[in-house]
Amino acid sequence: MTASLPLQPVEPVGVIPGGGGATRLAPLPFSKELYPIGFRQTPAGPRPKVIVNYLLDSLRAAGVRRVFWLLDKRKADVLAYFGSGAEFGVRLGFVPTEASPSVVHTLDGAWEFLHDRHVLFGFPDIIFEPAEALAQLWARLSKGSADVVLGAVPAAPDVIADRVELDAAGRLLRVRVKPLDRAADPAWILAAWTPRFTRFLRSWLERNESGSARPGAELYLGHVIEAARQDGLSIEVETFSAGCFIDAGTPDGLRIALERYGAIGDTRAGDPE
């Protein structure tokens, strides 16, 4: 009888969506992912730290070695700046997208790369604390009880964001996509998921585009997560009660991020150097 080989540990991949056109900050002379916010330490001294460096730092701290960047093909400056990713401690693979209408479409367009992967996901223009949040999401997903683990932080009622409604024990009741009443529920900003959710996303999008789910409405990832919850997938929430986030993809958010992280030597968002 042939001895069975030991099971290899699952290794997550990072996923960064980059199919949008940064209309909230337009016009910019470069892709928004390259907007400098603060500095990072290098062997040659402090160098500018661009928006998406914060997410890459947190992915690497979570044990991610490979990152798929789903990038609009017009953003050649991002590819030129980051290259292979070696300087930033990860291996980057760029998956070109073309005028993607939503993050949901962008993710589905990378099906061949993601359908059998465990994913750690973040938005490139959101700077969050704690910097180790993704590592905690991965630790929880690795326990095997959830299909999706969302990372949520407190958000003021006037902040436009997807909200997670929780019961007294912290269990998810529903995901609300950018609610008009700006409920005081926490906002989800990060996610970790298994291949089962990637498969669900594909089937949900196929139903939507055939007219059976949310016809004509703008699609957000929160719609898919809520639909997955209703369909019986296990969605858990890790709430960081002392955490925070800044959407640096808006003029006001960019101003706040520059004020908070703009000084040389500021490491509050997890500069790994």
CB 34 within 8 A of CB 22: no
Beta strand 119-122 pairing with 13-18: parallel
Q: What are 122-157's pLDDT values in tens digits?
A: 999 999 999 999 999 999 999 999 999 999 999 998
> pLDDT at position 268, please?
52
- Note whether residue 192 is domain-resident: yes
Does some domain include residue 103?
A: yes
pTM of this prediction?
A: 0.91
Residue 212 binned pLDDT confidence (cut-offs 50, 70, 90): low
Q: What is the CATH number of the domain that holds 122?
A: 3.90.550.10
271: in domain:
no
Average of pLDDT values for 171-198? 94
Instruction: Inform me whether the pLDDT recorded for 267 exceeds 60.
Output: no
pLDDT at 215 over 50: yes
- Whether 267 maps to a domain, the answer reads no
User: What's the domain count of the chain?
Assistant: 1
Among candidate residues 164, 172, 126, 123, the one with its CA nearest the CA of residue 146: 172
Query: Among 95-99, 103-107, 117-121, which is the least confidently predicted range?
Result: 95-99
Whether 23 shows a pLDDT value over 90: the answer reads no
Distance CA 94, CA 84 (A): 9
Give the CA distances from residue 114 to residues 77, 83, 109, 125, 207, in Å, rounded to whole numbers and listed in that order: 24, 21, 10, 22, 20
157: tokens are: 């009622």
Structure tokens at 161: 């964001």
pLDDT of 1: 45
What local confidence, expressed as pLDDT, does residue 20 receive? 67
- Structure confidence by residue, pLDDT tens digits, 69-83: 999 999 999 999 999
- The amino acid that residue 70 corresponds to is L
Residue 49: domain span: 13-261
136 within some domain: yes
β strands within the chain, DSSP E: 13-18, 36-42, 45-50, 66-72, 91-97, 119-122, 126-129, 148-153, 163-166, 172-176, 187-193, 235-239, 244-247
In-domain check, residue 3: no
pLDDT of amino acid 183: 77
- Does 2 fall in a domain? no
